[in-house]
């Protein structure tokens, strides 16, 4: 196992560390994360619109349009908000004006959407291109807008205002020429030449979205995240930067299916699949390990368990990952990696055969797992049972490794006590 960790440290860690710090992926991560409050609150309106209690469902049915309106303007415009956040973050990474980068990205993305004309002057924009279905286009357009902004500013192709002009006014004029390049460029491609950027980009990324909803698409991020954490790298940050657009696209399709009244949702593995059923207590489902620590014969593990149990219930597990430690610890790393693979397979097939409802709600990640799973599946009590089953499996997998590690620490603690005497 030590040889394996050395292999991971030499072969896997350097490229993954570079990947985590790559400015474009970091901008995608930060831009999408900035939309999470809107997505979480907006998705809760789905629960209000489609409550799991039949009596309440009948009661709210006449008011569905009104109830779903906040959802349509939050999660339904996910790509719109993300385009600004990604552009802002990427521009800041180049030490450019973040507001200019965000606004240019937003305008560029909106120009890719073909309007539906109502009359000679009025038009509507299709909502399906502004939510999760347009997320990949929003990412690409943010990259294009900010890179053009950077290219022009590095070559001083911009309006320079006198020093007496306030900074906010000067920055807005500095973005004038980039806007004059970007907006006509996208307008000609989409609206004059009639090139459908959305269809083109989605055809490119569709295999990734489809693969993300398969069993291998579930297991690959589980393995990568746990391997990276066990090697000392924040696995969710690295893998999430690449996978989160796929997860959100899958979630958006499930949300639209719920809003359309579908009984069985199309996708198994949006992000709540991992959050509530695999990462029970955080990556590696470590709250099961913390439970054993509470009864440990090792004074160190017992103290660590007491300090980690409340954060663990709220899915914060850095104290146990770095405190036990699990990181670079061959004894505890094995169940940390192996356990989520087993629960991931079980959960996938439970949802594949519709034994448990598929996720459609992005609940706050600090909720205890049974509550989060219940909300994420629209109020399916079977989701709570599955979480408890997965917790029991993780507890059983951790137990022999925990006892072996406990025995080692107890021997060390007794040896230190003997030396002091």
Say what the pLDDT of residue 414 is: 81
Neighbours of 102 (CB within 10 A): 24
At residue 139, φ and ψ (nearest 5 deg) are -65, -50
User: And the tokens for 282?
Assistant: 């955080």
Which of 116-130, 259-273, 276-290 is least confident? 116-130
pTM score, two decimals?
0.81
Task: Indicate the domain borders of the chain.
Answer: 74-211, 213-420
What is residue 10's predicted lDDT score, i.e. its pLDDT?
A: 67
Rounded Cα distance, 395 and 339, in Å: 9
Joined together, the tokens standing for residue 276 give: 């509530």
Q: For the purposes of burial, counting CB atoms within 10 Å of the CB of 305, is it exposed (0-12), middle (13-18) or buried (19 or more)? A: buried
Q: Does pLDDT of 20 surpass 60? A: yes
**Is residue 87 scored above 90 in pLDDT?**
yes
What's the pLDDT score for residue 82?
Answer: 92
User: Region 269-295: what's the mean pLDDT?
Assistant: 93
User: Per-residue pLDDT for 403 more than 70?
Assistant: yes
Query: Does 417 score more than 60 pLDDT?
Result: no
Query: What's the chain's length in residues?
Result: 421
The model's pLDDT over 104-156, given as tens digits with 9 standing for 90+, comes to 999 999 999 888 766 666 778 888 788 887 888 999 999 999 999 999 988 88
Nearest Cα to Cα of residue 138 among 2, 252, 239, 285? 252
Tens-digit pLDDT profile for residues 162-189: 776 777 677 777 788 888 999 999 999 9
User: What average pLDDT does the segment 220-224 reach?
Assistant: 91
Tokens of 323: 């405190």
Question: Is the predicted pLDDT of residue 1 greater than 70, yes or no?
Answer: no
């Amino acid at each position: 196992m030590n040889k394996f960790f050395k292999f991971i440290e030499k072969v896997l860690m350097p490229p993954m560390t570079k990947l985590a710090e790559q400015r474009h992926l970091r901008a995608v991560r930060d831009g999408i994360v900035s939309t999470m409050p809107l997505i979480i609150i907006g998705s809760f309106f789905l629960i209000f619109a489609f409550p799991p209690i039949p009596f309440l469902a009948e009661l709210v049915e006449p008011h569905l349009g009104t109830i779903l309106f906040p959802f349509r303007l939050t999660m339904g415009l996910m790509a719109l908000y993300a385009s600004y956040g990604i552009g802002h973050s990427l521009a800041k990474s180049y030490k450019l004006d973040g507001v200019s980068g965000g606004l240019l990205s937003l305008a560029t993305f909106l120009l890719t959407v073909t309007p539906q004309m109502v009359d000679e002057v009025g038009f509507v924009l299709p909502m399906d291109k502004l939510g999760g279905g347009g997320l990949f286009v929003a990412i690409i357009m943010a990259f294009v807008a900010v890179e053009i902004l950077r290219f022009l500013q590095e070559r001083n192709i911009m309006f320079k205002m006198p020093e007496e002009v306030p900074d906010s006014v000067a920055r807005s004029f500095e973005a004038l020429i980039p806007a004059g390049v970007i907006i006509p460029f996208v307008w000609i491609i989409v609206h004059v030449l009639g090139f459908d950027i959305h269809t083109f980009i989605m055809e490119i990324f569709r295999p990734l979205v489809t693969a993300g909803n398969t069993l291998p698409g579930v297991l690959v991020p589980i393995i990568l995240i746990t391997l990276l954490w066990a090697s000392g790298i924040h696995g969710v940050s690295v893998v999430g930067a690449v996978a989160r657009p796929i997860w959100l696209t899958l979630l958006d399709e499930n949300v639209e299916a719920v809003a359309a009244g579908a009984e069985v949702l199309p996708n198994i593995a949006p992000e709540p699949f991992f959050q509530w059923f695999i990462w029970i207590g955080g990556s590696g489902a470590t709250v099961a390990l913390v439970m054993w620590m509470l009864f440990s014969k090792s004074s160190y593990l017992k103290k660590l368990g007491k300090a980690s149990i409340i954060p663990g219930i709220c899915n914060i597990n850095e104290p146990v990952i770095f405190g036990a430690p699990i990181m670079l610890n061959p004894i505890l790393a094995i169940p940390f990696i192996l356990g989520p693979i087993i629960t991931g397979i079980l959960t996938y097939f439970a949802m594949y055969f519709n034994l448990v409802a598929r996720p459609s709600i992005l609940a706050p990640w600090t909720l205890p797992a049974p509550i989060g799973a219940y909300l994420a599946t629209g109020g399916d009590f079977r989701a709570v049972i599955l979480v408890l089953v997965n917790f029991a499996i993780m507890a059983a997998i951790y137990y022999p490794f925990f006892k072996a590690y406990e025995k080692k620490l107890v021997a060390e603690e007794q040896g230190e006590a003997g030396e002091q005497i």
